[in-house]
Structure 1
Amino acid sequence: MNCKQFNTILLEEVLLSLGHLPTKQSEKEAWYLNPFSKENHASFKLNKSLNIWYLFSDGIGGNNIDFMKRYLNTSISEILDWTENQNFSSFQNHRIPNRKLENLDKTYDITEVKNIQHPALFEYLRERRVENQTEFLNEIHYRMNDKNYFGIGFKNDSDGYEIRNAYSKICLGKKDISTINNGSNSIRIFEGFFDFLSFKNVEKFLEKEPSDYIILNSVSMVNKIKNNLGNYQNIELYFDNDGAGNHAVEMIKSKNEKAKDCRILYSSFKDLNDWLIHKKPSNERQLKCRRR
């Protein structure tokens, strides 16, 4: 996706993915509380016809890129990376031909769900260094646009599947988080399931006991969980090292004082799986997460 394509996405969808709802709206416009800071009266206006915004309290405005640059305080490349991981329905028609679709309407049929058997999928898992974690995965065969496909499937809480192979990154069914409940008073939260699988590979080296786990399957899902973690004594966050990850960490920490940013483990890498693929430190037992 490029900047021009991102700016065609409905800004109200972008705002919704970040947890912002209008205080009032009409067919042509919508008003929001300031998304960048606290305020009591809505001063953020969205022009639906032009898909542009204006913040009257600060005298600034612009398009989607302008909004996300200020919201995430990060580079355009990281904004576009964040966008690729979202499920904006107003951009789905552009993404279908490239098979880079986060969430599909019912234009597919799942034809088979089984244990992973296909050699190509095992090879892909070996490349990601998580080939020993197949207990959390399925091999999914599905039909879409009169063609047959297959991939690694990771189930979410709405019975949808995150599908991955060397060529595709899609979601079949409703987009949702995935929770693994072990009855623990600790919880670890990951952006994607490859990060979760990567952590399971080093959990013992880090002298960590199994806990409960949440896999967001999209960083925008942080809004769904940020207010529901109060029963946990320990909250560990393993998000990407980018602007969206930074923002998600701050959102959870602002609501949960016990939350710890654990990205020091892979601070020089894009994410936990990238670290596992490229570096296996000898002093894993000494690595501890810390509060940032």
Structure 2
Amino acid sequence: MNDINKLRNIPMINVLRKLNIEAIEKKKEQYWFKAKWRDESTASVKCEGNLYYDFGEGLGGNTIDFIIKCFSIDFVQAVKWLRNESNSFSFDPPKQNSFSELKKKKSYCIDNVQQLHNHVLIDYLKSRRLNIEVCKRYLVEVYYRVNEKKYFGVGFKTNKGSYEIRNKYAKLALGQKWFTWINNGHKSIIVLESFSDFIAIITLYPKCEKSKDFLVLNSLSMLSKVDEVLISYPEILFALDNDTAGSNSSEKCLKKWNTDISSSKDIRRLFEGFKDVNEYLLYKYTNL
């Protein structure tokens, strides 16, 4: 146990240096860096002491949690990796900072939210083959600052009032990571992973906008938060990604939501052979 505690207390900056991850020091012992687990042009992950916090996903943890996230491995493998590299690290306990303190130190500021009309953002959405009129109903322009640098992007609002932000160069969340429930009062709901898939499925099947409700997870991890939404629907249609994580989650969801009062279906056959609905839309329109 003492060994595990030592590993948890390895200063994050030492791990970043070992992994050759470039970090920018903003204040004493506070560093920012780009997430290795996604493409991004702006550093959206902050570390201080032995803690990190990913503002793109609204998640974080200690040094062991970071290794788990960075390499997509489990706890045992992360501990083994840190033990193998132990000679490279200082085990002096860093100054402790609570997770809540790390989150309270706000890294971003939203300057303006307005209707979608910026041609740069519209061109980005068109490159995804998304119907612009549909986009204008559900998306906005968000002008924001991260580390005092100004940016703008397409914004998709969550049920917590936070925003998923996308543009040609960035993929992040401003505020708490949460899901978006499009509640139109229907008895059937479609569950998708991203707002681009949500817009894509309406682009492909316009009639479903007026016959279905929608739940956009914004992160597969949100599946653990949505029971109170899904329990009220007699029919639940899952259109998660066609990857290992999406397949495993779909299987679990079908078992969970096929009950006496509800039925669930996996509708990924609609975009079979493609990673997600938007990828299928891109293929279909490119090959018309």
Report the TM range for the smaller structure's normalisation: 0.5 to 0.7
Contact 1:100 1:169 in 2 (8 A): no
Give aligned pairs, total.
200
Taking the aligned partners of 1:274 and 1:229, their CA distance within structure 2 comes to 26
1:279 counterpart SS class: helix
TM-score (norm 2): 0.62
Distance change (3 Å), C-alpha of 1:100 and 1:278? farther
Aligned partners of 1:123, 1:103: CA distance in 2, in Å? 28
**Equivalent residue for 2:268, pick from 259, 263, 266:** 263
- Uncovered stretches (5+) of structure 2, i.e. residues with no partner: 9-35, 48-53, 60-102
Given that residues 55 and 173 in structure 2 are in contact (C-alpha distance below 8 angstroms), is that contact kept between their aligned partners in structure 1?
A: no
Q: Is the 1:180–1:212 contact (alpha carbons within 8 Å) kept by the matching residues of 2?
A: yes
- The 5 Å alignment of 1:69-218 reads 84=38, 92-93=45-46, 101-103=56-58, 105=103, 106-130=106-130, 131-133=132-134, 134-204=136-206, 209-218=210-219
SS state at 2:150 partner: strand
Deviation at 1:230, TM superposition (A): 2.9
Correspondence 1:232 to 2:244: no
Larger Rg: 2
The gaps in structure 1 that reach 5 residues or longer are 1-27, 30-45, 52-81, 86-90, 283-292
- Contact 1:151–1:165 under 8 Å retained in 2: yes
How has the CA–CA distance of structure 1 residues 272 and 110 changed in structure 2, closer, same or farther, with 3 Å as cutoff? same
Tell whether the 8 Å contact from 2:115 to 2:141 is kept in structure 1 after alignment: yes
Greater fraction of residues in helix: 2
Could you tell me how far 1:101 is from its partner in structure 2?
3.0
Per-residue deviation, 1:202: 1.9
Query: For each residue in 1:175-225, what CA deviation from the matched residue of structure 2 results, as whole angstroms up to 9, or x when unmatched?
Result: 1000011111111100000000001112237x7752111000001111112
Paired letter, 1:117: H
Distance 1:259 1:120, change over 3 A: same
| Alpha-carbon distance change, 48 to 264 in structure 1, aligned in 2, over 3 angstroms | farther
**Using the alignment, how far apart are the partners of 2:228 and 2:255 within structure 1?**
10
Amino acid at match of 1:182: N
Indicate the percent of aligned positions where both proteins have the same amino acid: 36
Counting only pairs closer than 5 Å after superposition, residues 239-250 of structure 1 correspond to structure 2 as 239-250=240-251
Scaled by the length of structure 1, the TM-score of the pair is 0.62
> Can you list the C-alpha shifts for 1:117-160, whole angstroms capped at 9, x where unaligned?
21110100100111232210010001121211000000001000
Kindly tell me: are residues 157 and 208 of structure 1, through their superposed partners in 2, closer, same or farther at Cα, counting changes over 3 Å? closer
Q: In the superposition, relative to structure 1, how do residues 126 and 255 fare at CA in structure 2: closer, same or farther (>3 Å)?
A: same
Q: For residues 219 and 161 of structure 2, what CA distance do their matches in structure 1 show?
A: 16
